[in-house]
Amino acid sequence: MSSWILLGYLAVSFPLLLGIGLGQWSLIELTRHSKALVQDGSQVTQLGNRLRDDVTNLERTARQYVALGDNELLVLFYQRIARLDETLSLMRDHGLDRDFGFSLVTMRGQLAELVRQWNKGLQSGNELSQAIQGVRQLGEQAEKLVKAGHASIKRETGNLQRAAATARQRMLICALGLVPVALLAIWLLMRRLRRALASLRQAISVIGHGHQDRPIRVEGPRELVEVGERLDWLRRRLAELEGEKDRFLRHVSHELKTPLASLREAADLMGHDSVGILNPQQVELRSILLESADELHEQIAHLLAYAAWRREQKRQRATDLTAAEFADDLHGRFELQMQRHGLQWQPDIRCELIHGQPARLQEAAENLISNAIKHAPRDSAIEFGLCCVDGHFELSVRDHGAGVPDNEKDIIFEPFQRGHQTHEQGIPGTGVGLSIVSECALAHSGEVFVEDAQPGSRFVFRWPDQS
């Protein structure tokens, strides 16, 4: 009888032990995949930024050598080729899937072809314009490679989610054969697993949205707790780097003022005949120096203002705002400016309230409207919209100008980046406004993007309703 009782206990315990063992195995696999995904994502992002810098430096050195013919620049060119090849080798070590590997092989082939064209041009004494074109194509392939890396990370994230779903299905099948105690044990295990994965996903979301002021705590098994501790270390490190960036902006801006003042003073002394009477060429050179000094002074002022704005905006709190009043206030601020440009204000308000940080929302809207006014043709309209769709608020500004090329729709939201058409048309600006809009979107866990309006562009600032 005792043997039958033992067999009965074993029969009842086996599904429970099987379910627990399967759950633990799934948890370990998910943890391993999560760690690998976090590490690969961080490495691919860092190497992608390094790759962009390497290609930019390579093109700059190549153009400098073509212009100056300095042998030291030629040596530097080959050094940059070696560094770029090293970066590609490091990215190969973190290869994610076939598409990423194909883009990597393509770029390495282009790099080898570039070196061949360059060496051929040097040996034959011909122009190196074809090699310069190859460097530019290398930059385009670098962007494709970075995008392929991001897409691969996204696919790996989807695989991780599907693996979690598969783990839940397996555990459910085992649960069907358990006694009530076993069902309760598996339910507790599933709850623990879901809570751990949810806290891990929330922790990654906190870092992704730039909320470095929120501590990260992951509850669950020791492995996930360790991942949470590493994520919290990463959060603190990002916060330190963010502070260092702000301090760097302030420090560099202040340090540039002294030599700039000396340059300005020297140019002024030249105008007072302190070094003799200037000939026409020297007068023109002095005028260029003064104009450049004034432009540099303006850029430094914008740098300081941008750093001060970042410090101030970190202390904002969200509240409800009346959408119509918000739009009317913006119209009042830009009414005279729009009249001077012959522009009409066309509001489209489809919600009563919006929820967010007032100063940041106003700053974002003002920068979008100011940008639209700069690019809108005379006697056209500025279309301003506010609405709430699927639990998200949307603020949109449209102009009827020339639009934004596809290859510039991302970079224009980076600090101090301006579109090619903006430079060609001589439109004033520093490239800070749209980056401020991007910062505002990040602070609201939202996004900002530009889409073709045919004619013109529509800038959309979308953020979730967290009221």
Residues contacting residue 435 through CB under 8 Å, at least 6 positions apart: 306, 413, 414, 415, 416, 417
Residue 442 binned pLDDT confidence (cut-offs 50, 70, 90)? confident
Name the strand (E) or helix (H) holding 137: helix 129-175
Which pLDDT tens digit goes with each residue over 86-106?
Answer: 888 887 776 556 777 777 788
pTM of the model: 0.41
Can you give the residue ranges of every domain in the chain?
2-178, 236-313, 319-464
* pLDDT tens-digit series, residues 367-399: 899 889 988 899 899 999 999 988 999 999 999
The CATH class, in words, for 236-313 is mainly alpha
pLDDT tens digits, one per residue of 272-304: 665 667 677 767 777 777 777 666 666 666 566
pLDDT in tens, 106-133: 888 888 887 888 888 777 766 677 777 7
Fold of 2-178: Four Helix Bundle (Hemerythrin (Met), subunit A) (1.20.120)
The amino acid present at 223, given as its one-letter code, is: E
| Residue 315 binned pLDDT confidence (cut-offs 50, 70, 90) | low
Report, as an integer, the average pLDDT of 246-266: 63
Range scoring the smallest mean pLDDT among 62-71, 204-213, 397-406: 204-213
Distance CA 446, CA 6 (A): 59
Across 180-184, 199-203, 252-256, 450-454, the highest mean pLDDT is recorded for 450-454
Extract the tokens encoding 359.
């100063």
Q: Where are the beta strands (DSSP E) in 325-446?
A: 344-349, 353-356, 381-389, 392-398
CATH of domain 319-464: 3.30.565.10
Phi then psi dihedrals of residue 97, to 5 deg: -155, -175
| Other C-beta atoms lying within 10 Å of the C-beta of residue 121 | 17
- Give backbone dihedrals phi and psi of 399, rounded to 5 degrees, phi first: -120, 170
Burial 242-266 (b: 16+ CB within 10 A, else e): eeeebeebeeebeeeeeebeeebee
pLDDT higher than 80, residue 73: yes
